[in-house]
Structure 1
C-alpha cells in the first residue's frame, strides 16, 4: 500500500515538472493535429509555428518551454542543443522581475536558425509576430559563446526597452540611442553569476564612446555604471522604466512623445532617489536649453521622489485661450489640420494652411487669453514633415483691444532642425496683454505654413 502511494506521488511530481518545464521532440509532433499529440497544459505555447516575418516562411518546431520562454529551432539547427533553454529562461525571469512585465502572455518566444541575414525583434504590440514578444536570430556556431549569448541579450534588451510595463515604445530612445543594451547585458550576466562575461562586457563598453548627446560621451563609464553601482544595480533602471510608464504622457498604449534631456535626468533622479544633475553634468556636459527642460520637467512632474526645490513656477496661458488666424485650413478650424490644432496641446497634430504668396507670406495667428497676462516665454513645435513650411521670420505682438498692437519680440532666420521639434523663445516684458499675435513674414520657400503647436507661458522665478 505504501509502495503504491509513493509511486502515485512520484508520478504526479514528474507530470507537474513536464507541464511547467518541457523539452520537445519534433518527431512526436510533425504532421499530427494537436488533438492527437498535444497534451500540454492550457496556455502552453504552440508546438509548431509558421514564420510570417522578415521574409521567412519556415515551419518551426518547439524545442522547449516553461513559464518564461518558448524556444523554436528551424530544421537546419543541429540537435541536441540545450544550453539556450536555461540561459533564456533565467534571462527572461530576471527581466520580468527587474524591468517590469511585458505583454499579456509575458513569455518570450525565441526562434533560432543556423544563420539569419539580420536579427528580427518584435513585441506584444506587433501584429506581425501575432502579438508575441519574439526574436529570430541565427547561431554563430552552436557553442555557448559570448557572441551567441550577446546576440540573445541584445534582442531581449530591445524587447524590454520597447514594451516593459505594458507601454509600447522607448520614451528615452531619443536621448540614449542604442546604448541601453550596454547596461542590460552587464546586468543580465551578473544576475546569472556569469562573471567572466560581465567583466568582458564591462571592458568592452567602459571605453566605448558615442557622439550623442555630445562628442565622446562615455555612456557606460560615466552614466550607466555609476548609477548601477551606487543605486541598487539593475533595480535603479527597473525603477526608471516603472515611473516612466506611470507618469510620462501616453496616447493609448504608446508614449505620446520622446523625452528630452531635462526630463531624462529628472526621471532618473526619481528612479534613484537622488538629484543626478551633477552626474549628468559630468557625463554629458550641460547647457541652458537642458536646464530649461529640467526646470519644466520638475514643474510638469513634481511628485518624483527625490529632493529638489522648484526654482520656477510655470503658467501655461494658452489653456482656455481661443485661436484666430488670418487664413485657415480648407476644412475649417475644426478640420484634421485646422487652426484649433495650434493650441490642442498635442505635439503630433498640426495646423496647415496653403495657397500663400511665397514672396510675401503675411500670415498671422492670434490667441485671446482668458484674462490679460504677462507672457515672457513662448514656443513653437514644428510639423511632422516638409521643413520648407516652417516659420523662418516672425514678430510677436501684444494688444489689449485687438486693434492697437505693440511689438514684443522679433525673430529672423530661425531654424527647426527636426520634425515635431519644440523650440522655446524668451521675452523680456512686464506689461499685461489680453491678445497675443504672431505675424509670420517668411518661411523656407513653400506656399504653405504648418505648425504643430504654439503655446504662451508666464515664468515666475
Structure 2
C-alpha cells in the first residue's frame, strides 16, 4: 500500500465501493508522494493512459472518467500480509494485531504468545507519543514488525519514505520477544528515531549523527526518551532500570568520558519539567529550525551552540553552565551559542 491510500476503480459507477486491491508503490508512487506533500490532499487521481495525476481534496468522482484510478486515504485499511522489500529483508509478514494506533506484523518464527504483551505496550507507547509529539504524517498508526532468529537489531522508517511504503515503521529482530525487563528496549529506541525524524510532521533530524555531522549520535537522546516513555506509561521498574544503565554510560564525543545522561540529559530533563522539556525541544525545532523552501524537511544539521540554545529554550532556563560541565566549552561553541541566540531570538529563557 502507498501510505494508507487505497485504489478505487470505476469511481463514477453509482454505488461503487472501496475495492480490496491496494495501490502498489510501483504503479504510481510519484502521485502518492505528490498527494502526501500537498496541503489538504485527501485523494489523488491517476490516468494510466496519460500517466498524469491530480491531487484532490475529497474522494468524490470530480468528473474523472472510468479509466482513471482514484485513490483515497483510509486509516482503517491494514493489509493482512506484507512482503518485505528493504535491505536484506524478504519475509512475508502476517498481521497478528491491529487497532487505531498499531498494526503489528510477525514473521513465521515469532511466538504468537507474545502478541498480547507486545501489542499492549506498543499501542500504549504510540498513543503516548502522538499525545505529546504531534502528528506523524497522514496515517495515525505505528507499523511494528518483529522477527525471530534473523535480522538482529532494529531500524525505523518514516511516513515520507517510499522504502517502507510510506509508513511509520519499526522493524526488529532477532528475538525472542518474551515479556521481561528490557525486552522492549529496541522497539522503544526505534520509536525515538521516528520522533526525532518525523514529529510535528517534520522530515529529518538536525541532531542525528556523530560530530561534526550531528550532535547526539544514534542513541544519546533515545536514552532520555526511553526513560520518559517508560515513566509516562507507569512502568516504574523499566524506567529505573533504564535510568541506572544510562547513568553509568560514558561516550567519547564530544570529548572522552562524556556522561551524556548523568551530566546533561537528566539535569536538562528535570530542570525543564521532564516530559515537557523533550516535547518543547522538538516543537521548537519544528517551529524555528531551517527547512528546505516549501517543505517540512530540515535543511541542515545543527551545531553545538544551536543545540544548547534550543535545549535552553525547551527547558526555559539557560543551560550553558550545565553544557560546560557535560561537554566542555570552546571558543567555537561560544561563538556558535551567541550566534544562535541572535539567529533564533524568538527562543527565550532565563
2:91 aligned with 1:58: yes
Rg (Cα) greater in structure:
1
Describe the SS at the equivalent of 1:175.
Answer: coil
1:72 to 89, 93, 105: 105
Q: Which of 143, 155, 158 pairs up with 1:109? A: 143
- Give the drift of 1:139: 4.9
Contact 2:207 2:302 in 1 (8 A): yes
Deviations along 1:88-144, one digit per CA (max 9) or x if unpaired, are 011111112223322221311001111332423211121010110112112522411
1:200 aligns to 2:241 (yes or no): yes
2:181 corresponds to 1:140: no
Deviation at 1:189, TM superposition (A): 1.0
Match of residue 278, structure 1, among 312, 315, 321: 321
Distance in 2, Cα, partners of 1:42 & 1:268? 35
Deviation at 1:42, TM superposition (A): 5.7
Which position in structure 2 is the counterpart of 1:6? none
Q: Determine the structure 2 residue equivalent to 1:219.
A: 260
Aligned to 1:291: 334
2:121 pairs with 1:87: yes
Task: Give the unaligned 5+ runs of structure 2.
Answer: 1-18, 22-73, 209-213
Q: Count residues in correspondence.
A: 270
- The structure-2 alpha-carbon separation of the partners of 1:112 and 1:261, relative to structure 1 and needing over 3 Å to count, comes to same
CA-CA distance at 1:148 after TM superposition: 2.3
2:308 maps to 1:262: no
Q: Which segment drifts farther, 119-128 or 289-298?
A: 119-128
TM-score w.r.t. length of structure 2: 0.73
The residue that corresponds to 2:216 in the other structure is 176
The 1:169–1:42 alpha-carbon spacing in structure 2 relative to 1, beyond 3 Å, is closer
Q: Within 5 A, what are the aligned runs for 1:4-23?
A: none
- Residues 230-261 of structure 1: CA distance to partner in whole angstroms, max 9, x if unpaired? 22112201110011111000013321111101
1:151 maps onto 2:151 in alignment: no
Q: Given that residues 101 and 126 in structure 2 are in contact (C-alpha distance below 8 angstroms), is that contact kept between their aligned partners in structure 1?
A: yes
- The more displaced of 145-154 and 206-215 is 145-154
Aligned partner (choices 70, 80, 100) of residue 47 of structure 1: 80
- Residues 286 and 142 (structure 1 numbering): CA distance in 2 closer, same or farther, change over 3 Å? closer
SS at match of 1:177: coil
Calculate the aligned-residue CA RMSD, in Å: 1.8
The list of structure 1 runs, each at least 4 consecutive aligned residues, that deviate by more than 4 angstroms after superposition, is none
Structure 1 unaligned regions, length at least 5? 1-32, 36-40, 308-461
Contact 1:140–1:147, Cα closer than 8 Å, also in 2: no
Q: Contact (CA 8 Å) 2:272, 2:317: kept in 1 or not?
A: no
Q: What is the TM-score normalised by the length of structure 1?
A: 0.56
- 1:414 maps to none
| Higher helix residue share | 2
Answer 1 or 2: which has greater strand percent.
1
SS of residue paired to 1:236: helix
- Structure 1 CA distance for aligned equivalents of residues 312 and 207 of structure 2: 14
CA distance in 1 between counterparts of 2:327 and 2:242 reads 22
Alpha-carbon distance, 1:55 to partner: 2.2
- Structure 2: how far apart are the matches of 1:297 and 1:253? 21
2:288 corresponds in structure 1 to 247
Match of 2:271 in 1: 230
Answer yes or no: is the 8 Å Cα contact 2:323–2:329 preserved in 1. Answer: yes
Q: What is the distance in 2 between the residues matched to 1:108 and 1:59?
A: 18
Contact 2:75/2:139 (8 A) holds in 1: no
